[in-house]
Chain A
């Protein structure tokens, strides 16, 4: 029973990874690509690791999988934030149809 839940979680995570990387190809802008790919791939890989923990159980590999989930959840938003900030400071243009740019307005005041 718990193995079935684990394999279902692994399947969900792998399809989230696939759609995140599809967004990495299809979206028009650096910021859109960063948003889609970071969220989808973080949730997808977290789901894969939790399914691994459910299948393997409380062994060495299972505990390491739990530590890897904590590590990814702490570090992936930090790296995404630093990337978006440095892209905005390096004057990379937004997409043509983007609605607003609040950081640019704040810095010009």
Chain B
């Protein structure tokens, strides 16, 4: 039964990845670099990972599970901004990544110190 569940999950994941990588989306393609279409496809895998994080935020039994998922979501968004920097050719996307990482770090530390049940000047 357990192996059946594992095989089912693997098949679903492979179908999703196959449809991401080979389904013909209508995407505007720049002609600068030869692998830009591959990068445009790869962004959808990052969005799938973000969907997993949103599932954990929705389902998590305690509040700290949700804080863990929010932290990981911030780090994913830094990678997304980095890929968008290459695929669109605009250098200010990485600035959004730096700012998001800083805010995410401060927010995670503040929320976890608040959940600990002590003062902030510990």
Contact = CB atoms under 8 A, between A and B. Distances in A.
B78 A37 contact: no
B42 to A, nearest CB: 6
B79 A44 contact: yes
Of B42, B49, B64, B91, the most chain A CB neighbours within 10 A belong to B49
A85 B33 CA distance: 46
B115 A22 contact: no
Chain A residues touching B, majority SS: helix
B56 A86 contact: no
Contacts of B42: 10-11, 14
Interface residues of A, number: 50
A83 B112 contact: yes
A55 B48 CA distance: 24
Interface of B: 13, 33, 35, 38-39, 42, 45-46, 48-50, 52-53, 55-56, 62, 64-65, 67-69, 71-72, 75-76, 78-79, 82-83, 85-86, 91, 94-95, 97-98, 101-102, 105, 108-109, 112-113, 115-117
Interface of A: 3, 7, 10-11, 13-15, 17-18, 20-22, 24-25, 30, 33-34, 37-38, 41-42, 44-45, 48-49, 52, 55-56, 59-61, 64-65, 67-68, 71-72, 75-76, 78-80, 82-83, 85-87, 89-90, 92
